Structure 1
């Protein structure tokens, strides 16, 4: 996401290279490119103009600090303004009720039903809540079925009344069901339409009035660009929702909705959807998103994802195996599985400062480990435990069984051996300090 915008902003900042002082002339040229980049990203024209005017006011006449070049100072000013434009501070979700009632709204096709499941999974796994999903789309039978499939996938109960054609009574009945059965969060998935119409607005307004939700979220497909912002305004005028959810940010999106939606509706973006899997949901941090737009990566989010998969007990077992030279391919396989749980490879690479930009034209597949896993799965338990057993005949058998060749098997063995030596070197004081640091980081939650 934002690749095109990031490239154009980077080119704009290059204009200031080599200048010792920011002047009206070089600032005007740079900001002209910045405004063009924002417009190409489908940011509202007035917002883009106001944005560059504010940057200009802050930049003109500022002497470059001794440690900074003009381009770097401009990047900082633009970053600060981007953060402010996208909401400033991170916005939390209101879970004060018992049960807390969350109403989902949005057009058909925005990813509302899928996101309802993602949110339920997020609250269940990360907030220790017991959520109930409610199917209030009385027009599309497939929507009810879809929510049940999602609920089964994440282990969350779904409340539905397929024969009932009154969305208000379904929602109120679901809340009573939640109170009687110990659910502390109720997520109400409502009907969407292909376009805004009065009937839909009346229905969701009636549901909203009846259940008085603690949180009303507007779900919007970020790939629709400026249209998403206009739709958000129409819904907000009627519902006065609490926050926005941007879905499909992993797609070929220009990013205009993420940048300008806060200015139009004055409501924060609370969550973003970054993939199809049920754990592909992130809290929206304006500062981290600004970093990613400007090609600075997002190390904090990367560390947080790593912490979620970090198992201290497993790490101790691995440490002991390394010390005894018993680290085998089964252990290596479990480490690969932990990395895969962190998210898509392209998304992870994009969080590393400089790397995402360097590899922007390289296709990084989510199944990047598939050949390695196939080779390991083609080994016998004894071979995985003791790689030194692998002679020429065994390698030929493994290559044939994994659909690879002997050269690829040898390459994996070489890399595995090099990794083993590196991990052995880390077994000293540095390794212990690293483990202690990771433990402390996990304890603090890096909040």
Structure 2
């Protein structure tokens, strides 16, 4: 009996040992454990060190690090304690990490006191210096919700392997010895302060640049009187987004495919430059163009040529904010449309500020209406979709509509979105006006919203 009991206990111990040896999570390969941690925030990934001996240092090999100050906030912790926890965590993280770091993303929170900001600024410079010594470091993302701007450490410009750089809330001064980012493909600057000369120098030093985003404070958000001239020279650039304040724009981007321009302030009318030619004179590959806020007024401010140096043969989608009551802007728009023979979709927002009567016959209105005299033959042989926003059916708008409907034989959808809410009676009246306009398309559907 004792022998039988002893044998049973031995079998139970063997089964327990066997079950213990079947620790599925701990037995996962190193690369699989790293993959699992890549779906966690870096702080949570570090916490997995307590799972088992095999997980203890797995976090130290993950190649993509993401740290947010929000992860260190607690209801009972002061701003000083929160920021101190963040700094200590990143210090230890970078010091103990023993694998390659391909990507580092840092999101700093608000900083209300100057001494806390200075404490973080010193630590920030220390981290950038550490990362600049890693040849495999390819991607850097930084943002802050603080009211202070971070002076970008010069050591960042020693990170020659960077291919993606995304900066928010930084003050950028290029060092005189800057040699460029030879591998940079994506550059995004938002709410940053940087001079026009440094933008030109930075962009031109990235020969492989594929995507460029410049938004808001890059163009003097913190100095409304700043007059910035932009010169973008990027032979391989395919995507460009510019949003801010500037007085001139010169593009040398022959491979550009998609571009959006958003100008915050209305330009001065006195201008001898041919703005339209400088900005859009040579874009042979562009397929999507967007002009918003005051950018169309900027294009119309300079001298207007009889034709563009090259035709926008590949342009498929055009999105505009344009004042159809302005003779200058109407002239620029017609010139653009004449140079886009393969346009498929047109989205137009009427930025007219003078909400006159529907059929007001002021000199300006009559002049604009004359811009849309219909040429012989079809004008838009590929146009299929037209969306018109903020329309109130003025004389200049009706002239434009007649021009479109008489020049687009393949047009399938026309959507008119009025400026104000339209009751049923008024809606029927407007639809009746639209129906009476001559059309060359037999499959056209008109929608009024």
Q: Give the TM-score taking structure 2 as reference length.
A: 0.27
Q: Give the TM-score taking structure 1 as reference length.
A: 0.28
Indicate the structure (1 or 2) with the bigger Cα radius of gyration: 2
In terms of fraction of residues, the more strand-rich structure is 2
